[in-house]
Amino acid sequence: MIEHVYFLGIGGTLMGSLALLAKESGFDVAGSDGPIYPPMSEQLANAGIAVNQGFDPSDLDPTPDKIVIGNAKLPRGDPAVEFVLNQNLDYTSGAAWLGENILRDRWVIAIAGTHGKTTTTSMVAWILDYAGLNPGFLIGGVPTNFGISARLGESPFFVVEADEYDTSYFDRRSKFVHYRPKTLAINNLEYDHADIFDDLAAIQTQFHHLVRTVPSDGLIIAPQQSSAVDEVLKQGCWTPVSRFAAVKEKGIRRIDIDNGDLWHASAMKADGSGFTVALDNTDLGAVTWSLLGMHNVDNALSAIAASRHVGVPTNVAIEALSRFGGVKRRMELFAEKDGLRCYDDFAHHPSAIRTTLQGLRNHVGNEHILAIVEPRTHTMSLGTLRDDLCHCAAPADEVIWFRNESMQWDLTELVNRSLTAASVENDIDRLVDRISAHVGDTCHVVIMSNGGFGGIYQKISQRLSA
């Protein structure tokens, strides 16, 4: 008998992808959520998954065999959650369901860290696919090489984006503790998610829980220059560690558990659009691609190291990355007219904003860059990282901070302390007017948000096409 699985919160990035994997695995799948937007709405429709708008107890009749409860917007007190509990229905979290039903017998390659998870996970999945290994994957975005965010695959290998956000209202551990990777890449580690973590040490504790799940015959891949990651590893590590660094530091003392491998770049272009991959002091081949920024060079080195651990020759990984098309909403050009070029980027942390803009600056030289930032995440809306926000847009010529209704602090503080020409806007239509005024100029507009930003992308495209 086919097991019926129902996803509460099916429109989220993780939950929607899990629903796709469940459907592909042969489960009978349905779910419910509020309004769902592309690309997830399109993926669910294409898979033939029934989605109910909102929540009604009749949606759970007949009673599903398992109810998977998402984390976003589903706390205690939510009517859907209370109904499941009062009726004593069988429920679990998304991360636990993934670990038990999809990952249990797979060679899991997990990509963790504060920044670059989606891009690096996409790189690893593409490298393995290019090498003919047909991996499964679950990615928090849509890689252009695949056009989908998740698939089951037909090999032992499964590549997963390993998120440190908590699992559910009933499991406050990070999601990634359910994944049990054999290959683990930790790209970087900074303070984030101020709504659930008090400080960096609290996040490091969760990362240490993850490290404790990696077997001794596995591999951990870590940055050469991250004291925060080293502090995690020093809490206890039973697995060999390889390092990566876009720019190799000479004479750096690494901790005892390192196995000696150091991936780095040589002959790197200033904008990161080309570089030579080196293992220790041996050049292995050159990557030329459309991606920009030193952060993406780091992501590539991490992906190559992870791919090599599962058996992909480095020269094949280099070939694959030279054909890597990137990820939607990562410096994705979505509109242009008469010298004005508009990009959509997901950067939502000061460090990510800075490195993304610096990569573009190194690429376009003295051409005008306008950064438009919506501080939308819980951490940003609380103002936790406001000191870093003041200076993160320095590579741009101008920055406009968009104040949405969730902001709990005064963004004029950023304007007063900014090293870059800065202003605050709170109206989408006025913002579109300001952007459109640059038609005829040579101007690069980078819109940074992890949400829909009030439909600004569609409004800009319509204005420019008119």
Other C-beta atoms lying within 10 Å of the C-beta of residue 139: 26
Residues 6+ apart with CB under 8 A from 41: 11, 51
Which uninterrupted H or E stretch holds 29?
A: strand 28-33
Which residue from 118, 126, 114 is spatially nearest to 142, judged by alpha carbons? 118
- What does the pLDDT read at residue 357? 94
- What DSSP letter does each residue of 111-163 carry, written as one string? EESSS-HHHHHHHHHHHHHHTT---EEE-SS-BTTTSSSEE--SSSEEEEE--
Provide the token pair at 173: 């551990």
Q: Report the share of the chain in percent with pLDDT over 70.
A: 95
CA angle 157/324/188 to nearest 5° reads: 70
> Do residues 172 and 205 lie in contact, with contact meaning Cβ atoms separated by under 8 Å?
no
Chain centre to alpha carbon of residue 62: 36
At residue 134, φ and ψ (nearest 5 deg) are 45, 60
> Do residues 330 and 352 lie in contact, with contact meaning Cβ atoms separated by under 8 Å?
no
Confidence of residue 107 (pLDDT cuts 50, 70, 90): very high
4-94 — its CATH code?
A: 3.40.50.720
3-state secondary structure of 80: helix
pLDDT, mean of residues 309-318: 98
At residue 35, φ and ψ (nearest 5 deg) are -55, 135
Read off the pTM: 0.90
Other C-beta atoms lying within 10 Å of the C-beta of residue 153: 21
> Do residues 348 and 376 lie in contact, with contact meaning Cβ atoms separated by under 8 Å?
yes
Tokens 């359910």: give the residue: 178
- What does the pLDDT read at residue 21? 96
| pLDDT reading at 173 higher than 60 | yes
- What does the pLDDT read at residue 269? 94
Residues 6+ apart with CB under 8 A from 258: 240, 241, 242, 243
Half-sphere exposure of 291 (CA within 13 A, CB side): 29
Tokens 């951990």: give the residue: 220
Q: What is the architecture, at CATH level 2, of domain 332-465?
A: Alpha-Beta Complex (3.90)
Q: What is the pLDDT of residues 70-80, one digit of tens each?
A: 887 788 888 88
- What does the pLDDT read at residue 47? 92
Q: What is the pLDDT of residues 333-383, one digit of tens each?
A: 999 999 999 999 987 788 888 999 999 999 999 999 999 988 876 666 666
Q: 168-177: string of b/e by CB count within 10 Å (b at 16+)? A: bbebebbbbb
Mean pLDDT of the chain: 90
| pLDDT reading at 160 higher than 80 | yes
CA 5 – CA 66 distance, rounded (Å) = 5
- What does the pLDDT read at residue 251? 57
- What does the pLDDT read at residue 383? 60
In 200-346, the DSSP E strands lie at: 219-223, 241-245, 258-266, 274-279, 282-288, 332-337, 340-345
Domain edges within the chain: 4-94, 103-321, 332-465
Characterise 353 by phi-psi region: left (phi > 0), alpha (psi -120 to 50), beta (else).
alpha
Which residue from 367, 379, 395 is spatially nearest to 164, judged by alpha carbons? 379
Which residue from 113, 147, 115 is spatially nearest to 129, judged by alpha carbons? 147
HEC string of 377-434?
Answer: CHHHHHCCCHHHHHHHCCCCCEEEEECCCCCCCCCHHHHHHCCCEEEEECCHHHHHHH
| pLDDT reading at 266 higher than 60 | yes
Provide the token pair at 361: 């600056």
Which strands make up the sheet holding 421-425, listed edge to edge? 332-337, 340-345, 443-448, 368-373, 398-402, 421-425
CA 36 – CA 71 distance, rounded (Å) = 16
Tokens 């809490």: give the residue: 235
> Do residues 15 and 150 lie in contact, with contact meaning Cβ atoms separated by under 8 Å?
no
For the chain, give me the number of helices (H) and strands (E)?
A: 15, 23
CATH number of this structure's domain 103-321, picked from the four choices 3.20.20.70, 3.90.1640.30, 3.90.198.10, 3.40.1190.10: 3.40.1190.10
> Do 332-465 and 103-321 fall under one CATH topology?
no
Q: What is the pLDDT of residues 414-437, one digit of tens each?
A: 888 888 888 889 899 999 999 999
